[in-house]
Chains A and B, each alone.
Chain A
Amino acid sequence: MSDIKKIKDDYIDKLNTENNIEKVNNIKSELFGKNGIISNEFKKLGSISVEERKKLASDLNNIKDELQNKISIKIQEIETKEINLKLEKEKIDVTLPERNIEIGKIHPVSQVIDEISSIFSEIGFSVEEGPDVENEYNNFTALNTPDNHPARDMHDTFYLDNNKELLLRTHTSPVQVRTMLKGKPPFKIIAPGRTYRSDSDQTHAPMFHQVEGLHIDKNINMGHLKGCLNYFIKEFFEVDKIKMRFRPSHFPFTEPSAEVDIGYEINNGKIVIGEGNKWLEILGCGMVHPNVLKNVNVNPSKYQGYAFGIGIDRLGMLKYGINDLRAFFETDYRWLSHFGFDPLDVPSNYRGLSR
């Protein structure tokens, strides 16, 4: 027995100093292989007395457990060490740049159109569109602006023919005409799109964007108009309160007509919307003129409602602090990168209008 104990102690010592996984495996077979030392000791059990056998077997089992345990700990120890060493060697510089990211952007005008559509969608408006090329009738005459009306001078119109029959629409209002001509009241639409006037300087571009709004039903009055625009402006600028002023004005296609100003102030060189004692004109609106309704076969004694027209580019400039309108259309890659929006940043009610 003492022999075995000695063997055990020797092997424990041996294992303690061993660091090579192969050698540990060799020891394992030296001890427990077919002719291993411990295996042989177990074989001897058959040839001794029952009394002795009981005692020896117990001792042998203890020694076997102790050695096996030692071996498996050792193996794990060496393996861990080896893995750690391997990982250490594999270490890379993770601060090196990632593979090239290609970042696309949505143009501010498109983003603002989506924001506007999302807001009006919430209160039941649907989106209509009309062609960029219009006839004189839809752009002017049907909108109660006959040829001899001085209001026509306020629109510097691009023409496509010498008879001035075909033109680039000067506002989105002809979409009102088209919508009402092809359908039956009630109507509740917005119509965003490109508009054109032959005017070009820092604050005017020959092409710009407007959104038209139209709500016609049996009892829609100026209070609804005010409520709708008040809601829109608050939502759009993402403020709780907005200082807003309706002021009488004149458009041939609405009566009564109004222009809407919002309050603002300049704070540290930046424009702050909604507060302050300065006024900024942002849109024109009014009750659709009975003459317009008649022109599109809607009975003005039964139906009435409001219309409005908002400059999209200007709203975007105000909200996102863009100074130069012309830059919208100059395709400077750096500008597009700077003011563009992430394509996944889709304005919506539940995810929020803007990030």
Chain B
Amino acid sequence: MKFTVDWLKNHLDTKFNNNQIIDKLTNIGLEVESFESSTSELDTFIVAKIINAKTHPNADRLKLCDVDIGSDKTIEVVCGAPNAKNGLLTVYAPPGSIIPKNQMKLSVSKIRGVTSYGMLCSESELLLSNESDGIIELKNNKYANKIGEKYFKNTSEKVIDLSITPNRPDCLGVRGIARDLSAAGAGKLKINKKSNLKYRGNQNINVTIKKEKAQGCTIFGSCLIKGVTNKESPKWLKDKILSLGQKPISAIVDITNYVMFDLNRPLHAYDADKIENEIIVRSSSKGESFEALDNKNYILENDMCVISDRSGVLGLGGIIGGTRSGTEYSTKNILLESAYFLPRSIRKTSKQLNIDTDAKFRFERGIDPLSIEEGLIKASELIKQICGGEISKLNVKKIENYKKTIINFDPFLFEKTTGFNVENKELIKILDKLGFNVSKNKKILKLVVPSWRPDITQPIDIVEEIVRIKGYEHINTSEPVKTRLKPTLNYYQKLFHFLQRSVASKGYLETVTWSFTDSKINQLFKENDEEIPIVNPISSDLNVLRNSIFPNLIFYLKKNLDRGIKDISLFEIGPAFKGKNPGDQLTVIGAVRAGKVSRLSWNDKERIVDTFDVKKDVIQSLCEAGIDKDDIIIDDKTPSYYHPGKSGGVYQNKQEKKALAYFGEIHPNIIKKLDIKTEGLVIFEICLDFIRESKQKIKDSKSEYKFSDFQKSERDFAFIINKNFKSQELVNIIKSVDNKLIKSVRVFDVFEGENIPEGKKSIAVNVTIQSEEKTLNENDLDNINKLIISSVESKSGAKIRS
């Protein structure tokens, strides 16, 4: 909402200066976006000095001038003026300027083969006089210090731009703003002058508001003005329209716009001679069409509120008029409309047709239904004053009467909500100035809400009115109440933070990527999940919700590889979507590692990242988050985007059916499809929702501390075993031989080939044996050794290597 202070003062008697007004507006909730002079086409013309004027190489009558335009800049201008000479102060117009005389826009151009950047101006070109023989000669004493400054002073008044919240339609007019300011003590609201308009004759175009279920209009007021002379608006009116950032059109249109911004009362003027017989306000039928004032043809749906005559639609009520009945300079007789349209109807229609106009913006928020006559009178007066004509009696048709909103307000609610007290007297004064009709019934205030405040419906709205006018600075700053109702984080929230930092501490950079992704990449990772398209995506490559974190991670991995970064460890923790209903999402960590370990190290051998790097990262992170490493089971079934032979799933224990994590190499097909160029690429993922919370807190689950001081023995075994036999199983077989005595089993060598038969491998393990009761003698140890060998051989088909 834009307006000038001058305009405001038409409605407000105030001693406040501009800055005080600006501050007050912000303090009462009418946020000032800016307070600036509106830009003028003349702003570009600046004072300049010719440093050097020489003859144009290709034209004797032209000169080539080096011109100082301030800020240490010199440019070259071709000039035909005989008086262009060294040291002359004059007016320079840069490219882009519009020359007042001919309204031509300057551009950089070549004049007889030499480029000229802008031009030096004569008085006639600037409409200062008829002098066109040479360029302006500015007086040295006045302008010598002003090189580079604007030649024309911007006399246009500064414009206040307010950002009005959607609950305040009343402040979409200058008078409403003035009223708010007056309530806040910034002056006195001027009383509207009583109109002494003389009406002649009746408004004899018949108006009918059809009684229909979907009728979007409840009041239609109008008057006829006959014998007008439409013309250009006078300067004061043009200036007002310009200050709004709009273009003046004609006096009649400008007047209706002016009244709309002045009183927040949209009006529409029809050329009465173009209306066929009568006005019918009705709901549209699907397929009807009309050409609107924005020169677009609209095809209507059912139940849009239209103003029509016998031959069809004239306009969309409260939104936009039509060209068929629009006013022109030749218009002689006009029908002026001032109506009330229902916000819901306006909103629905404008959404369907995608139209946004100043009138729509206002009706959608709610116009004062009691301002019908006021608008007609104010506009008629101005039209008569500027365009002449005779005004008919006002005709107001309505199908519904306005019902007052009455609120019974207990002033205690104010203190209860805001924490501070305002005397009843002051409270009533504020409400009175805002236009409420206040009467007292014991402690309760009976308030009649002003008709221009559709936003006020209940007592809390009254609290807001009082506190914003009184000023938020009166609210106390109470010390925070530290009472705690429950722990800050629950188990899964703690797990989130723990794993996040745990993974980062393994050398991964955390990233945050969009929750949406490219369906083409998503498809490679979505497995059996349903695709979740976004109806209105921000771009076609962010068109689905991500089913997995990897589509984005891999996409950005590739971008970083393309930047020439070779060794990359990235992870993200966040949602992966499994369906389109609220809650169909999992919290997942996705991590990628690419490149080499120990690249270009002087003392370590560099190698490509592999599955066991990420296996370590994932297992260690899980252990740090509180999962017992001894319980973890690995298997080799993984989603299809993993390399089927080089990836694994992690289970919290034997009973678990769902893997809580996967790790391994990415499928070579995906690397090829996405054209990722790297030496190695391994990934892992952890699904936090599949991690089960331990039933006991750590304080309850720590077992008694036991240790054995008896001698421990280590024995090494090497088995020849089927190539596909899992080492994890072998370790379990050995452990199960005697869970008490066998303290640990470590795989320290695995190899194939050479002396090992085809299809077999050799696994060497180191077993630590220790009793908690005695020192084991050779005999005991031999027995265990034999048991280990026989168990392994019988359960796995392995053979001990001799």
Contact A222 B347 (CB under 8 A): no
CB of B461, distance to nearest CB on chain A (Å): 7
Interface hits, A247-276 → B, CB 8 Å: 247-250, 252, 255-259
Q: Is A57 an interface residue (CB 8 A)?
A: no
* Chain A residues in 8 Å Cβ range of B418: 221-223, 256
Rounded to whole angstroms, the CA-CA distance of A194 and B585 in the bound complex is: 13
* Chain B residues in 8 Å Cβ range of A186: 485
* Contact flag A206-B542 (CB < 8 Å), given A99-B604, A105-B510, A336-B510: yes
CB of A183, distance to nearest CB on chain B (Å): 10
* Chain A residues in 8 Å Cβ range of B486: 126
Partner of A231, one of B480, B552, B598: B480
Partner of A222, one of B343, B467, B577: B467
* Chain B residues in 8 Å Cβ range of A289: 460
Q: Is A158 an interface residue (CB 8 A)?
A: yes
* Chain A residues in 8 Å Cβ range of B364: 150
CB of A289, distance to nearest CB on chain B (Å): 7
Contact A135 B509 (CB under 8 A): no
Q: Is A18 an interface residue (CB 8 A)?
A: no
Contact A104 B506 (CB under 8 A): yes
Rounded to whole angstroms, the CA-CA distance of A122 and B364 in the bound complex is: 45
Contact B535 A344 (CB under 8 A): no
Contact A250 B165 (CB under 8 A): yes
Contact A106 B501 (CB under 8 A): yes
Contact with A along B498-517 (1 / 0, CB 8 A): 00111111111111111110
Q: Is A168 an interface residue (CB 8 A)?
A: yes
Contact A106 B510 (CB under 8 A): yes
Count of chain B residues with a beta carbon within 8 Å of a chain A beta carbon: 99
Interface hits, A183-228 → B, CB 8 Å: 186-188, 194, 196, 198, 200, 206-207, 215, 219-224, 226-228
Q: Which of the segments B271-279, B562-570, B672-680, B787-795 contacts the partner chain?
A: B562-570
* Chain A residues in 8 Å Cβ range of B563: 332-334
* Contact flag A159-B534 (CB < 8 Å), given A100-B604, A106-B500, A290-B458: yes
* Chain A residues in 8 Å Cβ range of B510: 104-107, 110, 336, 340
The chain A residue sitting closest to B468, CB to CB, is A248
Contact A227 B477 (CB under 8 A): yes
Main secondary structure of the interface of A (DSSP, over half): mixed
* Chain A residues in 8 Å Cβ range of B476: 223, 226-227
Q: Is A124 an interface residue (CB 8 A)?
A: yes
Rounded to whole angstroms, the CA-CA distance of A120 and B480 in the bound complex is: 10
Which interface residue of B464, B599, B603 has the most chain A CB atoms within 10 A? Answer: B464
Contact B601 A99 (CB under 8 A): yes
Rounded to whole angstroms, the CA-CA distance of A166 and B602 in the bound complex is: 57
Interface hits, A315-335 → B, CB 8 Å: 328-334
Rounded to whole angstroms, the CA-CA distance of A161 and B417 in the bound complex is: 40
* Chain A residues in 8 Å Cβ range of B516: 206-207
* Chain B residues in 8 Å Cβ range of A96: 602-603
Contact with A along B423-458 (1 / 0, CB 8 A): 000000000000000000000000000000000001
* Chain A residues in 8 Å Cβ range of B489: 117, 126-127
Rounded to whole angstroms, the CA-CA distance of A289 and B459 in the bound complex is: 11
CB of B780, distance to nearest CB on chain A (Å): 43
Q: Is B31 an interface residue (CB 8 A)?
A: yes
Rounded to whole angstroms, the CA-CA distance of A109 and B479 in the bound complex is: 28
Contact B580 A106 (CB under 8 A): no
Q: What are some 20 contacts across the A-B interface (CB < 8 A)?
A: A104-B507, A104-B510, A106-B500, A106-B501, A117-B489, A131-B585, A134-B582, A188-B483, A194-B575, A219-B416, A221-B417, A221-B418, A223-B418, A227-B477, A227-B480, A230-B477, A249-B165, A331-B570, A332-B560, A333-B570
Binding site for A on B (CB under 8 A): 26-29, 31, 165-168, 343-344, 347-348, 364-365, 416-420, 458, 460-461, 463-464, 467-468, 472-473, 475-490, 493, 497, 500-516, 532-538, 542, 545, 552, 556, 559-560, 563, 565, 568-570, 573-575, 577, 580-585, 597-599, 601-604
Q: Which 5 A-B pairs have the closest CB atoms?
A: A102-B507, A248-B29, A223-B419, A250-B165, A331-B556
